[in-house]
Structure 1
């Protein structure tokens, strides 16, 4: 699928800031599931920005702003050609060793009720991972079924439970839960950000899912919010230990948070 993307965000530095630094993780890379036809990052100072690969292999930009005033606006746009590989990325050269992604972070601590039934499972790792994805859906809820244990979260689609509409958690909660459950089973897993074509039913176009490592197949994607492996509707942007290490836009010193101005993700 050929996908056109336009995404515009902004941050506002604290008043009186003498110097601000923005870190951008907003540049996708070509790989087994996608080819970047064109991509641009636009903002004041981007011409002098430092560009490098971070510890997780993502393309990062560092942009300095001297005495910034008002909103700092970042616009990314481009065209990506995607291929449906049923979620399988395989082993990609130049990436960190999978063992890095066994590390548990505060955002990926999982309750034993999520992964306990798979501790001594005799199924293949692939079957365990698909079972874990289904279990995340059972615990957090899906578009077809209410949650067994509803989390408090903003965003997502309302789900009727006992006559009361409750929102489903955002995709980030599903991805963190899956990653945490896999790591608790000693399976390397990482958090992934990206874009989703035809996002609907409370799912945002800027999306999050997970990838887990299988010794035979390599890295495999799992989208527990949609209860499926990623398809050609998914555009992969960045991967890391959790949502904190994959923030698309980070400002130092921190301001009032990132504001999304516009996002368009559509088949070209």
Structure 2
């Protein structure tokens, strides 16, 4: 499938600030499931700095805008050709060993409830892949997709206790549950082409390390493994570590954020 993406992120400041420095993870991953035929990241007035591919295989660039600044706009446009690999991250080059993703964070630190859910969900599994699918389904059943019940600071254990959340919460909970079973798991960010499905400004899902297959994606919010409707951008230990844009600003005042994402099939 050919998917077109337009992603605009606008930062507005109530009074001019001196400088904004950002770390950008906005370029599609390179693996057999997708090829970016066109891709552009535009930030008016910016000076682009260092660029590198990190150990997880993500392309990252820095950007600096000097002031006085009252607005910074980051616009991503491009086309990606995608292939359904049933969630398997085939052909992705990275240097970080899977065991590194057994490390927990504040968002993915499991509690007793998550450990019990993981143990119960996988008790009858006859293979690592079946266990991973059963675990993702259990998270989907335990946390109903309910916008507004959680926020960006909600942890996996808090989302499970509420029984409600969004894709970020599903992903954090699946990672935490997997790690209680000594299954390496990580947070993935990207885009989703969907009509009537669960899709937000940007989408999140988890990848679990499955012996014999490698990294396999699971999207408990939608109850599927990523297919040709998904564009993978990057990964991390949690939502903060995998954020598409991270930055710091110099100056007083408050900031307003506006995000608009459109993903469509090329023939639409």
When normalised by structure 1's length, the TM-score is 0.84
Residues 188, 206 of structure 2: 8 Å contact kept: yes
Q: Residue 71 of structure 1: SS of its match in structure 2?
A: strand
Residues 13, 253 of structure 1: 8 Å contact kept: no
The alpha carbon displacement at 1:89 in A equals 1.3
CA 1:109/1:67 → structure 2, altered by over 3 Å: closer, same or farther?
Answer: same
CA 1:258/1:237 → structure 2, altered by over 3 Å: closer, same or farther?
Answer: farther
Give the equivalent residue in structure 2 for 1:86: 86
CA 1:38/1:251 → structure 2, altered by over 3 Å: closer, same or farther?
Answer: same
**Higher mean C-alpha displacement, 98-107 vs 113-122:** 113-122
Give the equivalent residue in structure 2 for 1:24: 24
Residues 57, 93 of structure 2: 8 Å contact kept: no
Give the equivalent residue in structure 1 for 2:180: 184
Q: Counterparts of 2:48 and 2:133 in 1: how far apart (Å)?
A: 45
Q: Counterparts of 2:8 and 2:244 in 1: how far apart (Å)?
A: 11
When normalised by structure 2's length, the TM-score is 0.84
Give the equivalent residue in structure 1 for 2:158: none
Give the equivalent residue in structure 2 for 1:264: 262
- The match for 2:118 among 112, 115, 126 is 115
Give the equivalent residue in structure 2 for 1:161: none
Q: Post-superposition, which runs of at least 4 consecutive aligned residues in structure 1 deviate over 4 A?
A: 13-16, 118-122
CA 1:257/1:51 → structure 2, altered by over 3 Å: closer, same or farther?
Answer: farther
CA RMSD of aligned residues (A): 2.7
Q: Where do residues 221-232 of structure 1 align in structure 2 (5 Å cutoff)?
A: 221-232=217-228
CA 1:28/1:46 → structure 2, altered by over 3 Å: closer, same or farther?
Answer: farther
Where structure 1 has 5 or more consecutive residues not aligned to the other structure, the ranges are 156-165
- The match for 1:132 among 132, 135, 149 is 135
Q: How many residue pairs align between the two structures?
A: 251
Q: Counterparts of 1:6 and 1:232 in 2: how far apart (Å)?
A: 18
Give the equivalent residue in structure 2 for 1:159: none
